[in-house]
Amino acid sequence: YDANGWYAIVEYTPPASEATLFYRYDERERTLTSAAPAVSETWRRNTFGVAWDVMPMNRLTLQVEDIDNAGSSSTDFGVQWQVSYK
């Protein structure tokens, strides 16, 4: 396989807020080079979410992902709790 990809992310934290709104776009193209002719697939994902600092060194993230995987699509939902140790 030969793979190429990129992503971009935009974040916004309103003034005096503990929450950050974000949008992320990912794209990857994968080519099976051993096939004749070569076969390519493109994978794309749009992610919208909010990350909230619920207390010092603890963050809760809620997100929804719209995924297009070479023509088949899905929608995923995610919840993540992060703890930072310093």
Q: Give per-residue pLDDT as tens, 29-78.
A: 988 777 677 778 889 999 999 999 999 899 999 999 999 987 789 999 99
Measured CA to CA in angstroms, residue 86 lies from 20, 21, 57, 58, 83 at distances of 21, 25, 9, 12, 10
pLDDT above 90: residue 9: yes
